[in-house]
Amino acid sequence: MTPHTAMVLAAGLGKRMAPITDTIPKPLVKVAGKSLIDWGLDSLAGAGVRRAVVNVHYLADQLETHLMERTAPLIEISNEREQLLDSAGGIIKALPQIGSEPFYVLNADTFWTDSDKPNLVLLAEGWNDASMDILLMIAHMDQAVGREGGGDFSMSNTGQLRRLKPGETSPYIYAGAAIIHPRIFANAPSGKVSLNRYFDEAIAADRLFGLPMDGIWLTVGTPDAIEEADAAIAKQGIHG
């Protein structure tokens, strides 16, 4: 199974990136000479994705103008100018554009490097429609650049994910990329809602899984993190 459609979550306000985001949306912040959103879109193109739906809200005109310059993947806009809908709400609004097949979901402000095989291809190869509703790309803390705090999930030897219990620690981080089957949003109401709700529902049904990624994972949350990310990319010998 190879998803040919993706949803890129790019509508956030990026408040922690101020003052840079006073004048540009966070997805257009550059790391190693390339806008954050283009790191993700280039990864999608490299994995064979033909069409990416991108939601926009804050300084949306700038982001739309930038995206018009891309030829691959084909970009469709989901307009959230009137109301910011959060991660799941944005996907639910865009479902008519996404379609009925499993699709990639990417956060526009995190990215990664690949090793021998692109991580999104590895994610597609790891998808099992019979047992999964959501498959998350997982980074180990040792792979993370710019990450503050601990892990997000515990992970079994089969890749099944669970929320951490009080006092429990884990090195496993959600790396901002996933494959999701749209059936999980059947009959979902419109409005503001987080993907965490659907992660928890998948956990309850034993259908949330994770797949360890290769390479390094980078998150750029503040202006100070840009220099750290630039250095990490340079050390990898990768050019934007």
Q: What is the pLDDT of residue 227?
A: 92
The CATH code that applies to domain 5-236 is 3.90.550.10
Asked if pLDDT for residue 136 goes beyond 90, the answer is yes
Classified as helix, coil or strand, 204 is helix
Report the C-alpha gap between 175 and 63 in whole angstroms.
23
Distances (CA, A) of 52 to 48, 63, 65, 98, 132: 11, 14, 15, 8, 22
Average pLDDT, integer, range 57-79? 97
Residue burial 190-221, b: 16+ Cβ < 10 Å; e: rest: eeebebeebbeebbeeebbbbbbbbbbbbbbb
DSSP class of residue 167 equals T
Asked if pLDDT for residue 237 goes beyond 80, the answer is no
Average pLDDT, integer, range 100-125? 95
Q: What is the pLDDT of residue 32?
A: 94
Asked if pLDDT for residue 239 goes beyond 70, the answer is no
Average pLDDT, integer, range 181-189? 95
CA distance between the termini of the chain: 29
Percent of all residues in the chain with a pLDDT value above 90, rounded to a whole number: 88
Q: Please list the residues that pair with 8 across neighbouring strands.
A: 54, 106
Percent of all residues in the chain with a pLDDT value above 70, rounded to a whole number: 99
Asked if pLDDT for residue 240 goes beyond 70, the answer is no
Q: What is the pLDDT of residue 1?
A: 81
Work out whether strand 134-140 and strand 208-212 pair parallel, antiparallel, or are unpaired: parallel
Is residue 137 within 8 Å of residue 175, measured between CB atoms?
A: yes
Report the C-alpha gap between 21 and 222 in whole angstroms.
10
Put simply, whether the predicted model's pTM sits higher than 0.85 gets the answer yes
Classified as helix, coil or strand, 76 is strand
Is residue 134 within 8 Å of residue 163, measured between CB atoms?
A: no
Asked if pLDDT for residue 210 goes beyond 80, the answer is yes
Q: Which of 15-24, 25-34, 73-82, 218-227 has the lowest mean pLDDT?
A: 218-227
